[in-house]
Amino acid sequence: MNTTRQYKGLLLIVFCVSGLGINTPTLADNPSWFGKKATGTWMAGVKAGNMIHEGKDFSNSTNAGLLVGYTFARPVGGAGGSTSVEFEMTTNIDKGNFGSGSVLTTPGKWNVESKAVYVAYRSAGTVYFKGKLGGVIADVTTVRDSGATSNDTIEDAKVSLGAGLGMRLNEKANIELEWASGIGENDINYVSLGAVFNF
């Protein structure tokens, strides 16, 4: 039998058994993290908010995004927080405007698409602090009202940092209000509200 098919079949069985609520070993049962047994949870989330362009005469655009990651359950320091690795992707759902007072000197619309990887820290408690640091690749597109030939898309990779506040609704769900910087060539800031689900 084809090895790839065997693996696909095994993954399907694990997925189905997990869906039935039968206890199965997690992917983190055996690995170690800094020499100690690693345990943790996978996460997935959704978010939406404003991309705030720091350029003169730019209004905000609106983006929505998805987040996937893994949270290590081992406490960090004496505060009992947790560390995670997160991949985040956002897409534009409502373009922003720029005016004749901008560096582009003519009015038009702009938007941004982004992909990022972060290492994030969440403090302990029902209400918690979140800080994150990573890298982001952003495609910033400007479309001048003067015509399609004046479209311009710039891809930019930068270091990004962020901070926010969250609330643990239960063991499986959190809500988070978050700010992230360093998106695009003009340090576009992303202020978002989202939900994170742990499984």
Instruction: Assign 78 a pLDDT band (cuts: 50, 70, 90).
Output: low
Q: What is the pLDDT of residue 76?
A: 65
User: May I ask the CATH class of domain 38-198?
Assistant: mainly beta
Instruction: Assign 39 a pLDDT band (cuts: 50, 70, 90).
Output: low
Q: What is the pLDDT of residue 147?
A: 67
Burial of 103 (0-12, 13-18, 19+ CB in 10 A): exposed
Q: Does pLDDT of 167 surpass 80?
A: yes
The Cα–Cα gap between 183 and 24 comes to 40
> What's the mean pLDDT when you consider all of the chain?
81
Return the higher-pLDDT residue of 177 and 142: 177
Do the Cβ atoms of 69 and 37 come closer than 8 Å? no
Mean pLDDT of 78-89: 87
